Structure 1
Amino acid sequence: MKKKILVIFLCLLLVMVTLAGCSSAPKEVAPSESGEKKEPFHVSFAAGRPGDTWYVLSHALATFINEESDWLTAEVVATAGVTDNTRVLMGDDKSMRGTHVNVTMLPGATVWGEGEYMPLQIGMLSMLNETFVTLDSSIVTLADVSGKTVALPRDVPDGYAFIFRNMLDLAGAKDYKIIHGGTGDRLTALRDGAAVVGTLPFDFYYPNEYALSSNLMEFGARGTLYYPNQGNTKEALEIIKEACVTDPFVGKSALPALGMVAPAKSLGDTQTEDMAYVSTPIYWSAGIEMPEDVVYEITRILYEAAKDGDFVPYHAMGKGITPEFLTMSFWSDDQERQAMFHPGALKFYKEIGMDLKTFVE
């Protein structure tokens, strides 16, 4: 009897060990489309701060990769912020460039900075759209900011405050004072009256859906919102274009023109005319050091998730990640667009017949 119990116990133990081994084992070598065995590969997403839109959506993409790929696995790692991702990958540990997907934001000095690393686009993630806003109805144009205190984004080399500062100067604003800060700091300055006018973000879902952000709604609780950069969109877009290429931090390479136009009424009844605004793209990228087949696999899974709307449950901005959105960029020249996408992503998009498009069309 004791022997039977011992045999049963040993059999159960063997089954448990076998099951445990199966659940924790890494992905086995999987055959490729050509029949060749694919070696397991692991990528990490440098995705900014936990809780940020791009961090959450990168976590979603990593989840899809782990579920859908037979040989590729992924995880998300936090950094000091979205503009810090590229800086990390431009560090001394060059091996990271072949294993890390980069959540890249334009502008950013580190995108064009010293060193040979260049983040090449895999697919668009989201857009950070900002507009000048005020409760003062007498501020109709950017030139009317003269003599006022204005709240602008943080003044850092990897930031984008210089675009708004240049816009004010090019529009003829004089003797204005600046309060720099993050979105929350700017909202506080505007809400408390420390600044009369400033920039705040709003929501945009490609291709043509606009909505007030929570920041604009909170500011609007203090009074009627007015947008001082309405009308004359052709001239306004030219100002944005020039403002994007006059920053000392971008070095020898000029940024593309990061200007778009919101149709009248997009942000409420007081937006009576079409309005040009600054839009800074945020996209998934990889250096040329990352193998082409790895980026191809990431792009394939990203495209399928975008097609099926799989990002929507993870974040409100997920509904803007569509197949058409993935291949958008601000690079107006076709040759330049081709050069700014990773070869692995280009291969996938060409195979399914998707063209690379620009927001400025």
Structure 2
Amino acid sequence: MKLKAIFILFLFIVTNALFLTYTTYSQEKSQSSIIRMDQGWEYQWVNSVQSDTGIPQMGWQPTENVKELVEPRRDSEILYLRNTIPDGNWNDPAVFISFMYGTFEIYQGDHLLYQYGKIPEAETVTYKGYNRRHFIELDPSIESNQLTIRSYSNGNMIGVSGAVSVGSYSDYLTKMVQDDFDKIVMGSIQLLIALVAFIFFLIKRFNGLYFAFAIGTLCSALYSFSITGSKQLIIDVPFLWIYIFQIAVFFRTAFDLLIIDKLFGPGYKKFVRRLWQVHLVLAVGAFILSIVNPDFFTMTKGIFEKLSGFEVLIMFIIVIRIFMKNIEAKLYAIGFLFMAGFMVRDLLVFTGVIYLNEFYLLGHIGQFFMVLAVGIILIKKQHDSNQRKF
């Protein structure tokens, strides 16, 4: 048992060490016209919409982190953020914001450049602009290099959720499409795999293992699509992508546990079964609440992050215990290590433990490896079943 645990941990550490080395190397070699605006931000709250008559001249306070501002809100529905646009020799200068909460306006000096939604707006909630990228072209004729964001939300979150960058508009779009290519390809392949798995579910007289694999793979495909920037160029419906992202993240772990239940159940079958059943019930409840009010996504996200972390730990323990059992267990362990390792890396990037000049995700690659591993296991089981018939 100790040797198996050491070997699994060794694989996990080596996989992540290799990847983190690649991440650092690629960042050092990358030369981009896109500049992240992480430092130099100032903020100011406005007590009410009625008293908000223009860009404040006084009362600004510095903040070290513009992303998901933690300074006391005191029930304010208006947040101002400002910074100085760095110098750059761009033919088509623009500001890029990956995610924003609520509705907002962008000013260059005192000139309005961009507006998303209305301020105030009765229907506005936290996630009106979330999971959507914003491209704001700068006006070279305006002498001011001061950028001001006027953000409004009557929900439980407000302001910037992602990165704010400045650079060449055409370069950013080109890089975004290039970065999204692998996500779109992997998502499309997984959609096809999910369809094939569902067909086998029907052929196999509603075998639960194929159903779990089909839905789990569908969740992986939806996740790949939902984290692209290109998605809004095809379907620009922000709330739709919020719900797709929620389905992909909230439901996936339940079906991973169901697959373990069906593949390696004996010995801890009852506990794993109860765990995925509880998770599934909670996920359905959270999804229904978010349809009633998208702000419930914020409230439930933390719960599912902790629950999924606990479940991944349980899965890791199971992987260690079953690793030497058979070839199927080894295949599953390899897929799980890739998925867990890459998702942990993305979490460290999100929380700022790992800082990247050019932000990109790899969790979708880990999920893809997991899908391939389970798919190979199912093909092997089908082959063995056919062999026994003859």
TM-score by length of 1: 0.25
Higher relative contact order (CA 8 A, sep 6+): 1
Task: Give the TM-score of the pair, scaled to structure 2.
Answer: 0.23
The structure richer in helix per residue is: 2
Give the strand-richer structure, 1 or 2: 1
